[in-house]
Amino acid sequence: SAVISQKPSRDICQRGTSLTIQCQVDSQVTMMFWYRQQPGQSLTLIATANQGSEATYESGFVIDKFPISRPNLTFSTLTVSNMSPEDSSIYLCSVASAGEGGEQFFGPGTRLTVL
Amino acid sequence: AQKITQTQPGMFVQEKEAVTLDCTYDTSDPSYGLFWYKQPSSGEMIFLIYQGSYDQQNATEGRYSLNFQKARKSANLVISASQLGDSAMYFCAMREGPGNQFYFGTGTSLTVIP
């Protein structure tokens, strides 16, 4: 298993500003994912961040809005840029081992409110 | 088409009773994994149970069991002897494809009644 921490755990931000969310894993992992969960909704994958390559974004998400860094096998950041109230969500990072049987472990999430 | 379908937005169960949460999936990949996660009001995602597409037996983990019907492409979660602490959102997920991407259903909100 993997233990994942996220910072900050929650934040309240003003419209037009940016917030960087950090994700730290206690072991080296190849595959890391960033999700958004809007209030009362399921998880939506933003991007897959594998170390040593550019993040792969899902439809509807772009690098200018959600830049991601993955400098090593234990750490990643997601920035929510030029925020609007529609960005108010829980942002979760997760890690998984390769293969369809690899369990996915989630961080505790970052609760973001944009005013 | 939706990869994962959960048709029960909300479910109620009496404490100590069993409850089944439905999940159907759609894939043409012969190799895939099915997962159930629990999300309490605190927000963390808690892994409950896993079923591989080639597994012959239904997965069990304590009070959780997965009713895997491959031909019907269903992977229902059965919670036995419900407890008040089981009240939460439950998400079914599938992992497949060359990128091993996870797909999540819309979730079922379970409320356990004392």
Mean per-residue pLDDT, A13-41: 93
Task: Convert the pLDDT of each residue in A29-86 to its tens digit.
Answer: 888 999 999 988 899 999 999 887 789 999 999 999 999 999 999 999 999 999 999 9
Three-class SS of residue A13? strand
Q: What's the pLDDT at B82?
A: 97
- Exposure string of B29-48, with b = 16+ CB inside 10 Å and e = fewer, is eeebbbbbbbbeeebbbebb
Mutate which of B29, B104, B106, B109 to test chain A, going by most A C-beta atoms within 10 A?
B104
Mean per-residue pLDDT, B34-58: 92
Residue of higher predicted confidence among A54 and B92: B92
**Which amino acid makes up residue B100?**
N
Residues A1 and A104: their CA atoms lie apart, in Å, by: 9
* Residues of B in Cβ contact (< 8 Å) with A101: 33, 50, 52, 95
Contact B33 A45 (CB under 8 A): no
> Cα A35 from chain centroid?
5
Q: What's the pLDDT at A16?
A: 97
Average pLDDT of every residue of chain B: 94
* Residues of B in Cβ contact (< 8 Å) with A56: 99
Contact B107 A42 (CB under 8 A): yes
* Residues of B in Cβ contact (< 8 Å) with A38: none
User: From the CA of B65, how many Å to the nearest CA of chain A?
Assistant: 17
- Grade residue B78 by pLDDT with cuts at 50, 70 and 90: very high
Mean per-residue pLDDT, A76-98: 93
pLDDT at B100 over 90: no
